[in-house]
């Protein structure tokens, strides 16, 4: 039986303490509709109105004030019980299922796994590498590593590090076509493109003559798998917009060149650990998220300047 009463109390308390549904959603790392629907379910279950909605925000009803006092007391007791347990008997053990994109998983997640397993000898891990976005519920995923902008959902997330994609090509490809200075030059060069659900990554943005220009990358070769596109780029098949964690080391080795850096629009995305609400309190999940956050706090691929 699924009991969401504690989650409802946490959401209600956050709405009151932050002053609104939008600010509560931001603080909890969930969507505004999730917060609104949670409050509606809570009020329906209790049979009482807890908040008055006004044009200026939200105001507690008398019933809401009484329930807030109870909710705070319950949450405090639960958090204290968990803290006592974690200081004493909590163990990182059991089975952990993690999902990650193929390229990032191979290049950056997998190398950290021996250290994490050595720290927690009673834990086993199922690391699933896929460029498809798996369902945490249907696929029984404890933590998913996801890149880029996150869609609105009821899922919780923790930012691990920033994400930038840059335009790169193999030196021999640049030698054949010349180094592009603008979108017109780029249009004359072969490119590599994503297929399927990653098609949005084929829209590359530049600032040219003071205006933002979107270049639509078309290609004779497309793939839904990032590591395949990376290998084709190294082989000189085409120009690619590539995540820095792959691109910077290849640039440092002389295998790739960064192109059009002065006019490439910077991304505002990030790499996140995504998990179900309140699952971060489970020791094996919390320890993995903390470990990943520490591992990527100062990403080594951001040290290079490229080009």
Cα 28 to the center of its chain, rounded Å:
15
Among the residue ranges 22-31, 236-245, 253-262, the one predicted with the least confidence is 22-31
Instruction: Report residue 20: phi and psi, to 5°.
Output: 175, 170
The pLDDT value recorded for residue 193 is 95
**Binning pLDDT at 50, 70 and 90, where does residue 192 land?**
very high
For residue 89, is pLDDT > 60?
Answer: no
Per-residue pLDDT at 302 exceeds 80? no
Assigned token pair, 53 = 């909605």
Percent of the residues in the chain that have a pLDDT greater than 90, as a whole number: 52
pTM: 0.67
What does the alpha-carbon distance between residue 272 and residue 57 come to, in Å, rounded to a whole number? Answer: 31
- Which of 2-16, 68-82, 205-219 is predicted most confidently? 205-219
Of 123-137, 240-254, 293-307, give the range with the top mean pLDDT.
240-254
Mean pLDDT along residues 246-250: 94
What pLDDT does 306 receive? Answer: 38
Q: Looking at residue 87, what is its pLDDT? A: 53
Tell me: the pLDDT tens digits for 122-170? 999 999 999 888 888 778 899 999 998 777 666 788 999 988 999 999 9
Are residues 64 and 49 in contact, defined by beta-carbon separation less than 8 angstroms? yes
Q: Where are the beta strands (DSSP E) in the chain?
A: 51-54, 57-60, 94-100, 123-129, 143-147, 156-163, 165-169, 193-194, 203-208, 211-216, 222-223, 240-243, 257-258, 269-275
Provide the pLDDT for residue 305.
38
| Of residues 202, 185, 206, the one with CA closest to residue 194 | 202
Measured between alpha carbons, how far is 276 from 107 in angstroms, rounded to an integer? 25
Q: Is the pLDDT of residue 307 over 50?
A: no
Query: Average of pLDDT values for 36-45?
Result: 91
Q: Pick from 121, 125, 141, 124: which is nearest to 133 by CA? A: 141
pLDDT of residue 53: 75
Buried b (16+ CB within 10 A) or exposed e, 71-89: beeeeeeeeeeeeeeeeee
> How many residues does the structure list for the chain?
307
Decide if pLDDT at 2 tops 70.
no
Q: Mean pLDDT across the chain, nearest whole number? A: 87
Q: What is the pLDDT of residues 22-31, one digit of tens each?
A: 888 887 878 8
Strands (E), 164-260: 165-169, 193-194, 203-208, 211-216, 222-223, 240-243, 257-258
pLDDT band at residue 234 using 50, 70 and 90 as cut-offs:
very high
Contact status, residue 185 vs residue 176, Cβ threshold 8 Å: no
Give the pLDDT mean for 223-243: 95
Look up tokens 């971060």; give the residue.
Answer: 280
């Amino acid at each position: 039986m699924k009991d969401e009463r504690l989650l409802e109390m946490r959401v209600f308390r956050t709405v009151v303490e932050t002053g609104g549904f939008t600010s509560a959603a931001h603080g909890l790392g969930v969507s505004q509709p999730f917060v609104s629907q949670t409050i509606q379910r809570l009020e329906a279950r209790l049979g009482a109105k807890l908040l008055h909605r006004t044009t200026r925000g939200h105001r507690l009803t008398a019933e809401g004030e009484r329930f807030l006092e109870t909710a705070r007391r319950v949450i405090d007791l639960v958090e204290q019980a968990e803290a006592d347990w974690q200081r004493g008997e909590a163990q990182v053990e059991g089975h952990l299922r993690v999902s990650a994109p193929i390229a990032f998983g191979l290049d950056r997640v997998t190398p950290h796994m021996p250290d994490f397993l050595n720290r927690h000898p009673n834990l086993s891990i199922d690391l699933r590498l896929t460029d498809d976005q798996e369902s945490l519920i249907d696929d029984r995923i404890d933590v998913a590593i996801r890149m880029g902008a996150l869609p609105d959902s009821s899922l919780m997330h923790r930012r691990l590090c920033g994400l930038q994609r840059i335009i790169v090509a193999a030196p021999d490809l640049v030698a054949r076509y010349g180094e592009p200075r603008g979108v017109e030059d780029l249009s004359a060069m072969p490119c590599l493109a994503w297929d399927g659900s990653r098609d949005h990554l084929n829209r590359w943005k530049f600032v040219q003559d003071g205006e933002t220009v979107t270049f639509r990358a078309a290609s004779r070769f497309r793939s839904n798998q990032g590591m395949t596109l990376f290998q084709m780029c190294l082989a000189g098949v085409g120009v690619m917009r590539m995540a820095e964690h792959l691109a910077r080391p290849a640039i440092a080795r002389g295998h790739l060149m960064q192109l059009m850096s002065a006019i490439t629009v910077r991304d505002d995305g990030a790499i996140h650990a995504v998990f179900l609400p309140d699952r971060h309190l489970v020791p094996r999940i919390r320890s993995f998220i903390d470990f990943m956050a520490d591992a990527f706090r100062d990403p080594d691929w951001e040290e290079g300047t490229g080009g």
